[in-house]
């Protein structure tokens, strides 16, 4: 009898850990996918061409920073960005030395996850909306 009770406890514990591990604050999306979707939306490109070159941890905030690039299809020019997630916002910078677009004069990029879709919204400082674009998680490489 004791072995059955122990087995049930272990099963419940592992099931609980599996459920908790599968439920991040961003649903099935990774921060990398959110950054790729955000940059694709604001740059008017397909998320499939957004490549993560590296990920580093920002020392002062301990946030993951993704170095993302894409080659412009029409002329082959390569563009480089950095991106990090701050709660429900994606914050980006041009190249490796550009400033973070997180000041009052910068447009704000917010995202909202609904199941297998992510909605990207860019709002200008005056409150007007630049765009609302959504991508399926499968356009970003699928579930993690």
Give the model confidence (pLDDT) of 36-58 as tens digits. Answer: 999 999 999 999 999 999 999 99
Q: How far apart are CA 6 and CA 61, in angstroms?
A: 42
The number of beta carbons lying within 10 Å of the beta carbon of residue 102 is: 14
At 132, which helix (H) or strand (E)? strand 129-136
Q: What range defines the domain where residue 66 resides?
A: 31-140
In a domain, 130, yes or no: yes
In a domain, residue 60? The reply is: yes
Assigned domain for 18 exists = no
pLDDT tens digits along 24-35: 689 999 999 999
On whether residue 127 sits in a domain, the answer given is: yes
Residue 14, pLDDT above cutoff 90: no
Q: At 72, list the tokens.
A: 């412009």
Helix, coil or strand: residue 94: strand
Q: 6 in a domain, yes or no?
A: no
Across 41-75, b (16+ Cβ under 10 Å) vs e yields bbeebebeebeeeeeeeeeeeeebbbbbebeeeee
Average pLDDT, the chain: 86
- Count of domains observed in the chain: 1
């Amino acid at each position: 009898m004791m072995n059955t009770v122990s087995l049930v406890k272990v099963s419940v514990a592992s099931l609980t850990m599996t459920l908790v591990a599968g439920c991040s604050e961003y649903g099935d999306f990774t921060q990398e996918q959110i950054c790729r979707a955000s940059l694709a939306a604001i740059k008017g490109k397909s998320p499939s061409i957004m490549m993560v070159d590296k990920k580093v941890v920002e020392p002062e905030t301990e946030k993951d920073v993704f170095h993302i690039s894409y080659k412009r299809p029409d002329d082959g020019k390569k563009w480089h960005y950095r991106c990090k997630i701050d709660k429900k916002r994606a914050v980006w910078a041009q190249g490796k030395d550009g400033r973070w677009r997180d000041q009052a004069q910068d447009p704000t990029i917010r995202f909202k996850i609904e199941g297998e879709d992510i909605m990207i919204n860019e709002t200008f400082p005056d409150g007007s909306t630049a765009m609302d674009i959504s991508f399926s998680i499968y356009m970003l490489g699928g579930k993690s």
